[in-house]
């Protein structure tokens, strides 16, 4: 009995795509309750579902959602369907083919420096007279 209860709890932490994860989660929560574990209310089930979302795919969603909860700009989900709908419809940033995200920036140079001539130069940017004489000979 203890092993079955333990496995039912562990099954709540496995995941796949969000649609299959929701179906699987519904079965797992039923198995959890069928093993006489404490009943989870709708809000607890929603947050457990949220916690189990794949971090690789839903990390951005999870961070933004948790931050919204902390600053009270959004309310906690009432039930499993509410959090599932949010996760399923969340717009995900697109990765570049090489991995990572793209970012660009532009700068403006106020003064353009001229390219220096090769060889030694005096303090004014002109070739040193002695250096020029050496090249001629």
**pLDDT tens-digit map of 43-74:** 999 999 999 998 888 889 999 999 999 999 99
Q: pTM for this structure?
A: 0.56
Domain ranges of the chain: 43-91
Phi (first) and psi of residue 127, to 5 degrees: -60, 145
**Environment class of 56 (CB within 10 Å of its CB; exposed 0-12, middle 13-18, buried 19+):** exposed
The structure tokens 């959090």 sit at 83
Cα–Cα distance measured from residue 128 to residue 137, given in angstroms and rounded to the nearest whole number:
15
**Contact predicate 9/37, CB 8 Å:** yes
The structure tokens 């700068």 sit at 107
């Amino acid at each position: 009995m203890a092993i079955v209860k333990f496995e039912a709890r562990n099954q709540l932490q496995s995941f796949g795509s969000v649609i299959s994860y929701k179906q699987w989660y519904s079965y797992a929560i039923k198995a959890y309750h069928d093993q006489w574990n404490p009943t989870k209310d709708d809000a607890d089930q929603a947050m457990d579902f949220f916690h189990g979302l794949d971090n690789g795919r839903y990390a951005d969603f999870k961070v933004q959602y948790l931050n919204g909860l902390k600053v009270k700009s959004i309310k906690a989900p009432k039930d499993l369907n509410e959090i599932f709908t949010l996760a399923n419809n969340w717009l995900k940033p697109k990765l570049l083919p090489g991995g990572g995200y793209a970012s660009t920036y532009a700068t403006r140079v106020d003064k353009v420096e001229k390219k220096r001539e090769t060889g030694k130069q005096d303090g004014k940017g002109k070739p040193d007279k002695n250096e020029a004489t050496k090249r001629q000979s």
